[in-house]
């Protein structure tokens, strides 16, 4: 187990358990929302926690852009240690590029501008930066002149955070993970955190972090406690103030909780502030209520997730509840599960099993899908793409967990469907096999942003 918080009950912490129960119902019912985990903290204790099987408390989950908030914490720790000055120019950390970077705006870009996604560019630069220099993202980014004065406009921009990660590496003389382990992870009790690296062996910083839901909650709790953990100051109070207040306006963002301003790798919201990542990875901090909500999921409608929190959890804080509501909620949370596929038994494979050595239909990017049966008669699916291959036994009437996958299969006449969940990520792949003609289709429920089937797992 990663971080261990004191366990309590909603009513003991001043929350009506019925409100959390209603939140769970809303998450399960909302179109475009698939919850994987939910942890609600109040006064530093667990009011409620649940994982939808096959997801589990001790299994890390890909954070996507919620990784940015951990990168920002590394910057804050380095600022406190005197290794980084927020008002230093970015180019001062890359002296080898000084002669090349001649644009005046780029030369005026400061560390604080990167933290606030206010580099002066009007739009995302990752593709353009990597096109300029495929081997050095920082160089490619700094060779793209900003459209406006740094600090004046907001644009969600991955190279801002990648560059911050490189600044920390240079200032500390070590990797981002090695810098954070004794200074953030150890004090908070986070013993399971890994990061996807690029071809230069550098952590992405802006994405690719893997950790548990409890660890997400711990980061939120640290900011809620204004940088102090068990009497030890980890982040300066002034840093917390700046990180969790609007540093740049972003009124053009479409959804209401994305247009309240941006801090230091945290979004301001209609209530409190948060870090978040693609497909519903959330660290929501509500200082007025002394509440932290940590969530993972596979949700394409992230605004709906926050709407459910505002509608059901917020009114339940400091509201009296029924005496038996705690027990009812606890029983429900203990039984949370995503439904497996249902249908006829898979039966026996044809004498010549379907196998696709040519490109598979659908959007999966798979090069091949193979079906076999092991000596016990259990079906086995093998997925092959440019990243490698994954082989997993197929569950029937259940999610069968094997390594970093969980599978469920069912048959309807001559059509077999196998769902493959990559349970250390948000992602689900639907594989459809027609036993009559051998046709195979594979479609992602949500498209992975920077991985293939063999890398959709916690990095070593």
pLDDT, residue 350, reads 80
- Asked if the structure places residue 139 within a domain, the reply is no
Last residue of a domain, one of 334, 365, 396: 334
Does residue 193 sit in the same domain as residue 296? yes
Residue owning tokens 């920002």: 72
pLDDT at 254 over 90: no
- For residue 182, give the CATH number of its domain: 3.40.710.10
Q: Which of 416, 325, 334, 422 is nearest to 379 (CA)?
A: 416
Does residue 401 sit in the same domain as residue 312? no
* pLDDT tens per residue, range 134-189: 999 999 999 999 999 999 999 999 999 999 999 999 999 999 999 999 999 999 99
pLDDT, residue 437, reads 83
pLDDT at 2 over 70: no
pLDDT at 356 over 80: no
Six-digit token pair at 372?
Answer: 């076999």
Six-digit token pair at 421?
Answer: 């969940």
Does residue 288 sit in the same domain as residue 235? yes
Order across the sheet with 440-444: list the strands. Answer: 400-402, 405-412, 415-422, 428-434, 440-444
Total tally of structural domains belonging to the chain: 2
Please answer whether residues 343 and 417 qualify as being in contact, where contact means their C-beta atoms are separated by less than 8 angstroms: yes
Query: What mean pLDDT is reported for the chain?
Result: 95
**Quick one: pLDDT band at residue 349, thresholds 50, 70, 90?**
confident
89-102 average pLDDT score = 98
271-282 average pLDDT score = 98
Does residue 326 sit in the same domain as residue 370? no
- Residues near 434 by beta carbon (within 8 Å), at least 6 away in sequence: 354, 414, 415, 440
Last residue of a domain, one of 299, 334, 369: 334
Does residue 252 sit in the same domain as residue 328? yes
pLDDT at 358 over 70: no
pLDDT at 129 over 90: yes
- Residues near 240 by beta carbon (within 8 Å), at least 6 away in sequence: 76, 223, 226, 227
Six-digit token pair at 392?
Answer: 């997993």
pLDDT, residue 357, reads 57
Does residue 361 sit in the same domain as residue 435? yes
Q: Beta partners for 180?
A: none
pLDDT at 3 over 60: no
DSSP letter assigned to residue 59:
S
Return the ∠ at Cα 352 (arms to 346 and 357), rounded to 5°: 100
pLDDT, residue 128, reads 97
pLDDT, residue 1, reads 37
Q: Where are the beta strands (DSSP E) in 31-102?
A: 35-42, 45-51, 61-62
Does residue 280 sit in the same domain as residue 423? no
pLDDT, residue 436, reads 85
DSSP letter assigned to residue 37:
E
- Asked if the structure places residue 118 within a domain, the reply is no
Does residue 405 sit in the same domain as residue 291? no
Please answer whether residues 71 and 168 qualify as being in contact, where contact means their C-beta atoms are separated by less than 8 angstroms: yes
- Asked if the structure places residue 144 within a domain, the reply is no
Does residue 63 sit in the same domain as residue 207? yes
pLDDT, residue 353, reads 67
Residue owning tokens 């590496």: 169
pLDDT, residue 151, reads 97
- Asked if the structure places residue 107 within a domain, the reply is no
Predicted TM-score of the model (pTM): 0.96
Calpha distance 214→5 (Å, rounded): 8
Helix (H) or strand (E) holding 264: none
Calpha distance 71→205 (Å, rounded): 6
Helix axes 17-29, 325-334, angle to 10 degrees: 30
pLDDT at 407 over 70: yes
Domain that residue 175 falls in: 6-84+161-334
Residue owning tokens 């660290």: 283
Does residue 388 sit in the same domain as residue 283? no
- Asked if the structure places residue 271 within a domain, the reply is yes
Calpha distance 178→172 (Å, rounded): 10
- Asked if the structure places residue 121 within a domain, the reply is no
pLDDT at 408 over 70: yes
Please answer whether residues 356 and 435 qualify as being in contact, where contact means their C-beta atoms are separated by less than 8 angstroms: no
Please answer whether residues 215 and 187 qualify as being in contact, where contact means their C-beta atoms are separated by less than 8 angstroms: no
- The DSSP result for 440-459, as a single string, is EEEEESS--SS--GGGSS--
Q: Which of 376, 377, 408 is nearest to 392 (CA)?
A: 408
Lowest mean pLDDT among 40-44, 80-84, 99-103, 351-355: 351-355
Calpha distance 250→252 (Å, rounded): 6
Q: Which of 454, 451, 383 is nearest to 418 (CA)?
A: 383
- Asked if the structure places residue 150 within a domain, the reply is no
Calpha distance 132→387 (Å, rounded): 25
Q: Which of 144, 169, 263, 159 is nearest to 207 (CA)?
A: 159
Does residue 308 sit in the same domain as residue 447? no
Q: Which of 452, 450, 378 is nearest to 418 (CA)?
A: 378
290-301 average pLDDT score = 98
Please answer whether residues 209 and 161 qualify as being in contact, where contact means their C-beta atoms are separated by less than 8 angstroms: no
Does residue 79 sit in the same domain as residue 172? yes
- Residues near 414 by beta carbon (within 8 Å), at least 6 away in sequence: 434, 435, 436
Calpha distance 412→377 (Å, rounded): 19
Calpha distance 88→390 (Å, rounded): 46
- Largest interatomic CA distance in the chain: 70
Q: Which of 283, 279, 231 is nearest to 41 (CA)?
A: 283
- Asked if the structure places residue 340 within a domain, the reply is no
pLDDT at 354 over 70: no
Please answer whether residues 195 and 67 qualify as being in contact, where contact means their C-beta atoms are separated by less than 8 angstroms: yes
Provide the pairing of β-strand 6-7 with 45-51: parallel
């Amino acid at each position: 187990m990663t971080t261990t918080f004191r366990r309590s009950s909603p009513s003991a912490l001043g929350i009506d358990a019925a409100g959390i129960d209603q939140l769970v119902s809303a998450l399960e019912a909302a179109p475009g929302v698939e919850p994987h985990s939910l942890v609600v903290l109040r006064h530093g204790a667990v009011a409620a926690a649940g994982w939808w099987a096959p997801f589990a408390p001790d299994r890390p989950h890909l954070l996507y852009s919620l990784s940015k908030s951990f990168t920002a914490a590394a910057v804050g720790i380095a600022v406190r240690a005197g290794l980084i000055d927020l008002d230093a120019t970015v180019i001062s950390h890359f002296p080898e590029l000084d002669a090349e970077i001649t644009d005046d705006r780029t030369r005026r870009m400061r560390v604080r501008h990167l933290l606030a996604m206010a580099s002066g560019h009007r739009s995302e630069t990752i593709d353009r930066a990597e096109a300029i220099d495929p081997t050095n993202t920082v160089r490619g980014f700094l060779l793209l002149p900003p459209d406006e004065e740094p600090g004046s406009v907001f644009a969600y921009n991955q190279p801002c955070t990648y560059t911050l990660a490189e600044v920390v590496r240079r200032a500390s003389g070590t990797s981002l993970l090695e810098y954070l382990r004794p200074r953030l992870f150890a004090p908070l009790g986070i013993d399971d955190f890994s990061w996807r690296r690029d071809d230069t062996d550098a952590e992405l910083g802006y994405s690719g972090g893997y950790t548990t839901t409890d660890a997400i909650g711990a980061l939120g709790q640290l900011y809620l406690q204004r940088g102090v953990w068990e009497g030890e100051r980890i982040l300066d109070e002034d840093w917390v103030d700046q990180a969790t207040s609007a540093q740049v306006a972003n009124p053009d963002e479409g959804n209401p909780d994305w247009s309240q301003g941006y801090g230091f790798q945290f979004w301001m919201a209609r209530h409190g502030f948060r870090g978040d990542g693609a497909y519903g990875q959330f660290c929501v901090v509500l200082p007025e209520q002394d509440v932290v909500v940590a969530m993972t999921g596979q949700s394409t409608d992230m605004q709906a997730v926050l709407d459910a929190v505002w509608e059901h959890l917020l009114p339940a804080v400091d509201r009296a509840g029924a005496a038996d509501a705690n027990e009812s909620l606890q029983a429900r949370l203990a039984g949370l599960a995503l439904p497996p596929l249902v249908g006829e038994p898979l039966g026996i494979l044809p004498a010549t099993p379907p196998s696709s050595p040519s490109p598979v239909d659908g959007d999966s990017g798979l090069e091949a899908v193979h079906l076999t049966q092991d000596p016990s008669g259990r079906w086995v699916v093998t997925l092959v793409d440019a990243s490698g291959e994954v082989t997993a036994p197929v569950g029937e009437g259940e999610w069968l967990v094997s390594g970093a996958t969980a599978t469920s299969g069912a048959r309807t006449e001559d059509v077999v469907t196998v769902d493959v969940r990559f349970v250390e990520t948000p992602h689900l792949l639907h594989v459809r096999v027609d036993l009559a003609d051998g046709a195979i289709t594979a479609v992602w429920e949500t498209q992975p942003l920077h991985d293939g089937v063999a890398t959709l797992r916690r990095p070593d």
